[in-house]
Amino acid sequence: MKTSIEFQLRKAVEVLMKNKDGNILVYTHVDTDGITSRVILEELFSRLNIEGEFKFLKQLNMVTVESIPFKEYNLIIFADLGSGQINLINEKIKEYNLWNSRDHSIIILDHHIPAYSKIPDNIIHVNPWNNNLDGGREICGAGVAYKFAKLCNPNYTDLAKYAILGAVGDIQNLGGSFVGMNREILEDAKARGDILEFPDLQFYGKHTRPMFVSIKYFTDVRTDLMNNDSKILNFVKTINRRYNLEIDPREPICNLSFEEKRVIGSEFLSRCNKYVPLSWIKYLPKVIFGMSYEFRGETVMTPLRNLEEFSTCINACSRYEDYVTPLEVLKGDRGKYYSRMLYMLNRHKKNLFRALKYIKDNVEIVQRERFQYFEIEKNKVDEGIVGIVTGMSYSIEDVDWKKPIFAIKEKDNGYKVSGRCPKLLTFAADINLADAISYASMKVGGTGGGHRFACGAYIPHKKDFIKYIENRL
């Protein structure tokens, strides 16, 4: 039965208020959801006149848990991380004799699948999965942080927009729009006039790319238009003639009228029909049409207007371990940090294209019955972008777009693995990459997890790893 996270949140607020004047340390994760969680909590603290130290934590594991100063703080908050490693935290609390301590508390505000652990009363664990809510779709880390802030003061709905950006970063709107608690949070942001929601095409780059480029790199369904400029131009020309329109394929999608988008979308849909198995056709509208989310306060045709593109800007920094730049831009900087973000975005795009070219030209795609994989040499492709590049590999002819794909990248001590799956396949087939990768990586002594459609792992050696993926997927 679904219950509410409110009860645990109330306890968390009580604990925060009790420790208002104590030493407080906040750890947040480093992706879009983690950084937006931090913005929400920093803003909350400043409004409540609470002093706190804030730190980013890329990964909580057996090594990094040692550096957490549990004894030195009255309250430690983990946001967008902690649930999966709750037993590590628990073990440390025991080791330091802080089990049920009155002077040391921990609050976890997370949405990742929790590890099971019997926890003492001084650990407050807020997580939708504990209430049978879907933490992959209904609320993200920043969403939990937002609910926490709103419980402190119901007028803080201006923070809702960050929670929605966090949810977009975690692709919680995979089905085309937001559901569950995300929907409520979205209504807060809309009521505030901060976020616009409207039906749109599901192509990437609606404010920053010419429309033909958005179509060119659409990989959720493989048609003859993929990577083919002249076919796309013909496609638009034919539509213009047939519907008596004057759509300019060099314009970004945001400049199309609703009617023009509808025509482009339905013509694209009927083209896709020819390329997908019969039983998948009914899922096509979901990958072509969906809701767009935009910050009303940002300028159109900039990379900050559309939330998906904003999240790319954050990744363009955070994937290279620069977390301060997106943090400052989120807090309003449009000077020094914003310029740096644009520079990083440009560099990021170049890196992605270089990495993709390397894979296209140098790497063999190994086909298995239900999936495919490739290996990346040690000094090729930055570790932070392996996952993104794995997803982009669907634009390579040799990659079978109807099967999941894994990339195995060699590191100094082991391998990083990323798995991706075409959107259409996640709707049409019962595929769970997170489950497969966490099983296979555990079998070889590593750790892994993620979502049904995107996953990652670190493994010490790759022997038999593929076999275990094969067994489980």
Q: Strands 75-79, 105-109: parallel, antiparallel or unpaired by DSSP?
A: parallel
Residue 171 or 342: which CB sits closer to Mn ion?
171
Closest residue to Mn ion in the complex (CB): 33
- Give least dist CB 287 to Mn ion, A: 23
Residue 89 or 396: which CB sits closer to Mn ion?
89
Residue 113 or 269: which CB sits closer to Mn ion?
113
Would you say 26 and 38 are in contact if contact means Cβ atoms under 8 Å apart? yes
If we measure between CA atoms, which residue out of 219, 259, 269, 251 comes closest to residue 388?
Answer: 219
Rounded-to-integer distance, Cα 143 and Cα 161, Å: 10
Query: Looking at 9, 26, 27, 80, which residue binds Mn ion (CB under 5 A)?
Result: 80
Our separate counts of H helices and E strands in the chain read 17, 13
- Give least dist CB 111 to Mn ion, A: 6
Sole window of 32-40, 118-126, 194-202, 446-454 interacting with Mn ion (rule: CB under 5 A): 32-40
Query: Looking at 141, 249, 404, 446, which residue binds Mn ion (CB under 5 A)?
Result: 141
- Give least dist CB 81 to Mn ion, A: 8
The beta-strand segments (E) located in 320-387 are: 366-367, 372-376
Residue 293 or 371: which CB sits closer to Mn ion?
293
Q: Is 33 in the site for Mn ion (CB under 5 A)?
A: yes
- Give least dist CB 173 to Mn ion, A: 14
Sole window of 137-145, 184-192, 232-240, 390-398 interacting with Mn ion (rule: CB under 5 A): 137-145
Give CA torsion, residues 10, 16, 20, 21, to 10 deg.
140
Sole window of 28-36, 44-52, 240-248, 305-313 interacting with Mn ion (rule: CB under 5 A): 28-36
Sole window of 69-77, 132-140, 310-318, 333-341 interacting with Mn ion (rule: CB under 5 A): 132-140
- Give least dist CB 374 to Mn ion, A: 27
If we measure between CA atoms, which residue out of 115, 165, 159 comes closest to residue 140?
Answer: 165
- Give least dist CB 56 to Mn ion, A: 14
Three-class secondary structure of residue 14 per DSSP: helix
- Give least dist CB 110 to Mn ion, A: 8
Would you say 77 and 48 are in contact if contact means Cβ atoms under 8 Å apart? no
User: How far is the CA of 150 from the CAs of 141, 159, 183, 296, in angstroms?
Assistant: 14, 8, 15, 21
Sole window of 136-144, 318-326, 328-336, 461-469 interacting with Mn ion (rule: CB under 5 A): 136-144
| DSSP label of 112 | S
Three-class secondary structure of residue 300 per DSSP: coil
Residue 80 or 220: which CB sits closer to Mn ion?
80
Q: In what order do the strands lie in the sheet with 53-56?
A: 53-56, 24-28, 75-79, 105-109, 123-126
Residue 110 or 200: which CB sits closer to Mn ion?
110
Q: Is 170 in the site for Mn ion (CB under 5 A)?
A: yes
Q: Could you tell me the two tokens for 323?
A: 């977390």
For residue 409, the tally of other CB atoms under 10 A from its CB is: 22
Rounded-to-integer distance, Cα 51 and Cα 45, Å: 7
- Which DSSP string do the residues of 204-217 spell out, in sequence order? S-TTTS-HHHHHHT
- Give least dist CB 141 to Mn ion, A: 4
Number of residues this chain uses to bind Mn ion (CB under 5 A): 5
For residue 299, the tally of other CB atoms under 10 A from its CB is: 11
Residue 170 or 188: which CB sits closer to Mn ion?
170
Three-class secondary structure of residue 63 per DSSP: coil
Sole window of 74-82, 196-204, 286-294, 444-452 interacting with Mn ion (rule: CB under 5 A): 74-82
- Give least dist CB 346 to Mn ion, A: 26
Residue 80 or 200: which CB sits closer to Mn ion?
80
Sole window of 75-83, 196-204, 294-302, 346-354 interacting with Mn ion (rule: CB under 5 A): 75-83
Binding site for Mn ion (CB under 5 A): 33, 80, 140-141, 170
